[in-house]
Amino acid sequence: MTTVNSTIAPLDKSAQISVIGAGTMGAGIAQVAAAYGHPVILFDQNPEAIQRGLDHIQKGLQGQVKRGKMTEEALQALMANITPATDIAALADCKLVIEAIIEDLGIKRGLLANLEANCAEDCILATNTSSISVTALGAEMKHPERLVGMHFFNPAPIMKLVEIVSGLATSTANAALTHATASAWGKQAVYTKSTPGFIVNRVARPFYAESLRISEEGGADTATLDQLIKGAGGFRMGPFELMDLIGHDVNYAVTCSVFDAYYQDPRFLPSLTQKALVECGRLGRKSGHGFYDYSEGAEKPAA
Ligand code: NAI
C-alpha cells in the first residue's frame, strides 16, 4: 500500500463537486458529499434518473428523521446542497467530478473526453469504476494525471471504505487530495494501484463465483446458501442478496472485466446463470427482480 500523505488538506466545503450518473452509486455519493456541506451537482443524461436519485436520497433521509437520527432542518439543508443538471456546461467550476455511469470502457472514455473539454484544468476527474483499469480509462485523455479512481461501496452513505486507485499516469498530488477529501467525508480511504478488480472486488470474486457454482451444481439453493453464509459465516448479507443489491449488470461486468484482465483465467469464469439474469433484465433490487422478487407483496429474503 502506498504511504498515506496525512499533511494534505481536503477540498474545502465550499468547493463545487459533481457526480455524474444518478443511479445506485451516484445518488449515494452525491448524498455523502452534500452531507459534508459541498454544493453538489447531480448530473445524468436522463432527467428521470436524476428525479429517481433525488427521491431515493430523500426517502433514505426521511427514514433517519423518523428514527431520530437526523433533524428535518438537516435533511432540508442536505437536499438544498444538491442541484440537478443535464447540461455538462454546468460543471465548469467544479473542483472534483466523480463519474458513476455505466461500467463500459468506451462510454466512460467518451464522458471523460467531454469532461476534459468542459471542466477547469484544476478539477480532479474521479471514476467510481468497479473494475475497469484506471490506466486504460485515462489512455485517451489529454491530462491522464488528473484521473483518479475513487471507488465507493454500496450503499455509499453507509459503507466506510473508499479505494483511491492510481493508474500509471495518475499524479500523486491528485490521489492524495482525493484521499484527504474522502477521509474528510468520514470514509476510510485506502490507496491502491489499478490492478484488475482493485482490492475488494478481486477478493470478492470467489465469494460470488463459488456460491453461483454450488447453486448451479445443485449443492444447495440460493436462499439456503444466503442463510448459511449469514448465520454460520457471520456475513451481513449472503452472496445472492448482495449480488441483487449490487445489480447483476454491474456484478457480471466486473467479473467479465477481471476474467479478461487475467487472460481468461478460469478462476474468474463468469457465471451463465448471472449472464441469463442480465439478458432477461432481472438486474436485482433496482429492476424489482433478481434472485429474489422485490415486487409488492412478494416474499422477501429473510433478514
Ligand atoms: P446504475 O445503472 O444504477 O446507474 C447508472 C446511471 O448512469 C444511470 O442513471 C444512467 O442514466 C447514467 N448514465 C449512463 N450513461 C451515462 C452518460 N454517458 N452520461 C450521464 N449519465 C449516464 O449503475 P450503478 O450501480 O450506480 O454503477 C455506476 C458505476 O459505479 C459503475 O461504474 C459501477 O461499476 C460502479 N459501482 C457500482 C457498485 C454497485 O454496487 N452497484 C459499487 C461500486 C461501484
> What would the pLDDT profile of 145-167 be if each residue is shown by its tens digit?
999 999 999 999 999 999 999 99
- Catalytic residue (one of 194, 201, 211, 251): 201
Domains and CATH numbers, the chain: 17-193 (3.40.50.720), 205-287 (1.10.1040.50)
Distance from residue 239's CA to the centre of ligand 1 (Å): 21
pLDDT digit string, tens, across residues 33-62:
999 999 999 999 999 999 999 999 999 999
Backbone angles phi, psi at 227, to 5 degrees: -65, -40
Report the mean per-residue pLDDT for the chain.
95
Low-confidence ranges of the chain (pLDDT < 70): 1-6, 300-303
Ligand 1 test: best mutation among 24, 48, 51, 246, most atoms within 8 Å of CB? Answer: 24
Q: Is the pTM of this model over 0.90?
A: yes
Q: Using DSSP bridges, classify how beta strands 124-127 and 96-99 pair: parallel, antiparallel or unpaired.
A: parallel
CA-nearest of 217, 183, 200 to 129 is: 200
- Which pLDDT value is given to residue 1? 47
Q: What is the pLDDT of residue 7?
A: 80
Quick check: CB of 97 below 6 Å from ligand 1?
no
Instruction: Give phi and psi for 43, each to the nearest 5.
Output: -110, 135
Active-site choice (38, 151, 179, 289): 151
**Residue burial 159-197, b: 16+ Cβ < 10 Å; e: rest:** eeebbbbbbeebbeebbbbbbbbbbbbebebbbbbbebb
Supply the ipTM of this predicted assembly.
0.99
User: How far apart are alpha carbons 275 and 34 in whole angstroms?
Assistant: 36
How much is the pLDDT for 4? 52
As to burial, measured by CB atoms within 10 angstroms (0-12 exposed, 13-18 middle, 19+ buried), residue 119 is: buried
> Which pLDDT score is estimated for 302?
60
